[in-house]
Amino acid sequence: MIGIEDLDLGISLWARQHQTTTGLNIFSGISHLGDKPVLACMAIAGALLLGYARNIRSASIFLLVVVASGMLSDGMKLLIARDRPPAAAEMGIHNYSFPSGHSLGAAATYGLFALMLARVTAGRARKWLYVGAAASAILLVGASRLYLGVHYPTDLVGGWAGGFGLAFAGLWLDTRLASVAVPAPVPVAAEPELVSVADEIDDLSTEPATLPAVALLRGEND
C-alpha cells in the first residue's frame, strides 16, 4: 500500500523529471507571487484600497490576516520541522518544508482580498472574476513550488489549508463586526390621538355656549 510519504516522493520525482529550462523560468517568476515582500506590497495596496472605500474595519482585518499568515507559517515549520526535498538545497533554501509558506501566504492574502471584493461587488460575473483570478494565482503559486522541487505536495496542501482557514476566519470576523456595528432600529413612538384631543377641545369650546341655555331652561321650569 502506498503511503503519503511515498506519494509525496513519487509526485516530486515526476515533477523533477519533467523540468525544462522554459518551465523553470516561467514557474520561477510565478513563484515570486508568494514571496513575502510581494505579499506585503499586496497587503498594503489592498488595505489602502479598502481604506479609500471608507472600510477601515476590513482594511485592518486584511492586514491582520496577512501578518498572521506569516507567523502561522513560520511557527508550523519550527513545530513540524520537516526537511525539504533534495533540490531545495541546490537552490540555496535550507529552512523547513511544511507547510509551504508561499502557498499559505498566497491563499490568505489573495483569497481574503478577493472574498472581500466579491462581497461588496454588484454583479455575479464580477464576483466570479475576482474569486477566479485569486484561485488561479493561489494554485499557480503552489504548483510552481512543486515544479521547482522545493516542496512536497503535502506541503502545498497544508499551506492551502492554513491560508484558506485564515482567509475565511478573517471574512467571518469582518462580517460579524459589521453586523454588531450596525445600530439597532429605534422604535418609533406612537403618535398621539389627535382626533380625541380635538374632540375634547370641541367639547370645551361648546360647553360655555350650552351652559346659559341649560340655565335658562331651568329658570323657565322654576
Phi, psi of 91 (to 5 degrees): -95, 5
From residue 99, how far is each of 81, 85, 90, 125, 219 by CA, in Å? 10, 13, 20, 33, 109
- Interatomic CA distance for residues 111 and 105, integer angstroms: 9
Confidence of residue 210 (pLDDT cuts 50, 70, 90): very low
Q: What is the mean pLDDT of the chain?
A: 84
- Interatomic CA distance for residues 96 and 111, integer angstroms: 24
Rg of the chain over Cα atoms, rounded to whole angstroms, equals 34
- Interatomic CA distance for residues 125 and 145, integer angstroms: 30
Confidence of residue 216 (pLDDT cuts 50, 70, 90): very low
Could you confirm whether 151 is annotated as catalytic? yes
- Interatomic CA distance for residues 107 and 142, integer angstroms: 9
- Interatomic CA distance for residues 8 and 142, integer angstroms: 14
Rounded to an integer, the average pLDDT of 26-30 is 95
Q: Which of 18, 32, 94, 151 is catalytic?
A: 151
pLDDT for 49 beyond 70: yes
pLDDT for 182 beyond 50: yes
CATH class of the domain whose range is 4-181: mainly alpha
Could you confirm whether 102 is annotated as catalytic? yes
The single residue listed with the C-alpha cell 518544508 is 97
The single residue listed with the C-alpha cell 520525482 is 13
Q: Collapsing DSSP states into helix, strand and coil, what is residue 192? A: coil
Confidence of residue 211 (pLDDT cuts 50, 70, 90): very low
- Interatomic CA distance for residues 156 and 173, integer angstroms: 25
